[in-house]
Amino acid sequence: MGKRVLVISTSLRKNSNSDILAKEFAKGAAQSGNDVEFVSLNDKTIAFCKGCLACQKTKECVIKDDSNEIVEKMGLADVIAFATPIYYYEMSGQMKTLIDRSNPLFTSDYKFRDIYLIAACADDSESAVDGAAKGLQGWIDCFEKCSLKGVVLGKGADEAGSVKETKAVSKAYEMGLNVK
């Protein structure tokens, strides 16, 4: 049996460019024999972290919303792939909020080792993803047993669905296919 893979699409638009790439990654990972679960934040309620740090002791957040179930799934996954649209050269606010709310995992025996970043943006430069990658790396650095294994950027995707015309679709699929 393969790895438990959690793909989290953080775009609030259904069938967004980053969502399309996330689904390609999930398809590739599933075809490699992994157990893949796809979660979209587009219909989820996730409040901001209050910074109370109660979760450090209790292993659960005091805020009761949709993030609790997602964070639990994150802790049980071997592989997590975050997909985000690039807003102002950074990850989406909902992705950052979910990352902040994953604080209960910090003191837990989390399973994830491999982290992937999948992004789409209107800009056509490779560096457009640098801010999001740096932000995600900051989170990864706090979880010493994991590392960033790959990044796919769908650049120049300025219209809904236009990422389908880029090489990023096949790159996302291949990256998922290589999860073993």
Q: Give the model confidence (pLDDT) of 5-57 as tens digits.
A: 999 999 999 889 999 999 999 999 999 999 999 999 999 999 999 999 999 99
For residue 122, what pLDDT band results from cuts at 50, 70 and 90? very high
Confidence (pLDDT) at 71 = 98
Confidence (pLDDT) at 48 = 98
Share of the chain above pLDDT 70, in %: 100
For residue 1, what pLDDT band results from cuts at 50, 70 and 90? confident
Mean pLDDT across 71-88: 98
Dihedral angle computed from the Cα positions of residues 32, 34, 10 and 87, in that order, rounded to the nearest 10 degrees: -40
Confidence (pLDDT) at 14 = 85
Tokens of 37: 């679960």
pLDDT at 146 over 90: yes
Greatest CA separation for the chain: 48
8 A C-beta contact, residue 83 and residue 153: no
8 A C-beta contact, residue 104 and residue 59: yes
Instruction: State which CATH number among 3.90.550.10, 3.30.465.10, 3.30.70.100, 3.40.50.360 fits the domain covering 4-177.
Output: 3.40.50.360
For residues 127 and 123, give the distance between their C-alpha atoms in angstroms, rounded to a whole number: 9
Residue that wins the pLDDT comparison between 159 and 147: 147
For residues 139 and 49, give the distance between their C-alpha atoms in angstroms, rounded to a whole number: 15
Angle of CA points 134, 139, 140, to nearest 5°: 90
